[in-house]
Amino acid sequence: MSSSAISSRIAQQVVRPVISTTSVDARRRVLKLYKAWYRQIPFVRLEYDLNISQKRLEEKMREQFEKNRHLTDIRVIDLLVVKGQQELVETAKIWKQKNHIMNYFKETETKKSEDFLTNFYDGHH
């Protein structure tokens, strides 16, 4: 066997899917996570005493999922699903604080000015 054939075989063994074996399986896991988050929204709103409508929370959750809609690599999708499951557990068990949830609703950052007093008054460091 040539060395390139051996290295190709080794690379195929190393780069295996993390959890899902097919893209259909990965999609199923994403949808399962999406539904779990969707069911958790009323409790999150109540427990964190959020002054945000349930509809707005649902829209933000969908937006977060839509960010990664273009991904096709099963390993990356699996990694993001695992991270999403961890976030869900942390949120559901109230291991986060309200400001962690509200960070998802922060508008895009405005460019900081170089003026010290302006930054000081705005609370920027």
DSSP string for 90-116: HHHTT-S-HHHHHGGGPPPPPPPPS-H
Helix, strand, coil percentages, rounded to 5, for the chain: 65, 0, 35
- From the CB of residue 41, how many other CB atoms can be counted at a distance below 10 Å? 17
Confidence at residue 88, expressed as pLDDT on a 0 to 100 scale: 97
Q: What single-letter amino acid sits at 122?
A: D
Calculate mean pLDDT across residues 10-16.
Answer: 58
pTM of the full structure:
0.72
Sorted by where each begins, the domain ranges of the chain are: 19-105
Q: Which residue has the tokens 């990965």?
A: 26
Q: What tokens were used for 86?
A: 């961890």
pLDDT at 56 over 90: yes
Hey, what amino acid is at 52?
A: I
Nearest C-alpha neighbor of 26 from the set 37, 34, 15, 14:
34
Residues near 42 by beta carbon (within 8 Å), at least 6 away in sequence: 54
Averaged pLDDT score across all residues of the chain: 85
Phi/psi at 36 (nearest 5 deg)?
-65, -45
Q: Identify the band that residue 12 occupies on the pLDDT scale cut at 50, 70 and 90.
A: low
User: Is the pLDDT confidence value at 11 over 80?
Assistant: no
Q: What is the CA radius of gyration of the chain?
A: 21
Specify the amino acid at residue 101. I
Digit-coded pLDDT (tens) for 65-100: 999 999 999 999 999 999 999 999 999 999 999 999
